[in-house]
Amino acid sequence: MTNVSSRAKAPVTSSSSLRSTTAFTRSMPRPNGGAPCWQTSFLGPNVVAPATDDILNTPCGNFRNISGHFGIIGTPVIDPVTGTLYVVARTKEFGTNFVQKLHALDITTGAERANSPVLITATYPGTGTGSISGVLTFDSLRENQRSALALVNGIVYIGWASTAIGIPITAG
């Protein structure tokens, strides 16, 4: 990786459904007794990780393919040119507002890059579930960012799937 210090060169990263991303060095011996190089949490005052029941107590009943919390489900992607890790975090803000945000983190420090995070929103023409006057709107509660992020020519691609069988989705 260019522009990345030797301490974090080729880091191993881990993301969790509780909304945090952690980086560990791959170098030996491990500095600080193997402690993480950094950890970034996407939680805070009035921002929590949605519990499974927040998401699944909707039209799909008791189906449970993810337990605990919905957080960072999709695998992040690293831009080796800029030293940026991209990750989508799903949160529940102020008790009822479900959001998904794309975070761009400095791979050496875990700090948010300029203009990060970005709230994920979308509208597009269609007549599926939730369509209003022929327009579908991205639903942060129901759309589940499961797949790994992809980076192609400096552009981050993100895919969504259903949260569970029986929940209609409109993103893809």
Question: Comparing 37-41, 69-73, 83-87, which segment has the lowest mean pLDDT?
Answer: 69-73
Its domain, for residue 117, covers 6-26+36-162
| Number of compact structural domains in the chain | 1
Within a domain: 169: no
Within a domain: 83: yes
What average pLDDT does the structure give for the chain?
Answer: 76
Within a domain: 172: no
Within a domain: 10: yes
Has this prediction a pTM greater than 0.85? no
Q: Is the peptide bond before 117 cis (omega within 30 degrees of 0)?
A: yes
Within a domain: 18: yes
What's the pLDDT band for 79 if we cut at 50, 70, 90?
A: very high
What was the pLDDT predicted at 118? Answer: 97
Within a domain: 146: yes
What was the pLDDT predicted at 172? Answer: 44
Mean pLDDT confidence for 37-52 = 80
Structure-block tokens of residue 155: 């552009």
Within a domain: 125: yes
108-114 long-range contacts, CB within 8 A, separation 24+: 108/4, 108/5, 108/7, 108/8, 108/37, 108/38, 108/83, 109/38, 110/21, 110/23, 110/37, 110/38, 110/39, 110/40, 111/40, 112/40, 113/84
pLDDT tens, residue by residue, 141-172:
777 787 899 999 999 999 987 666 555 555 44
pLDDT tens, residue by residue, 90-144:
888 888 888 999 999 998 888 999 999 999 999 989 887 778 999 988 888 777 7
Within a domain: 128: yes
Is the pLDDT assigned to residue 5 strictly greater than 60?
no
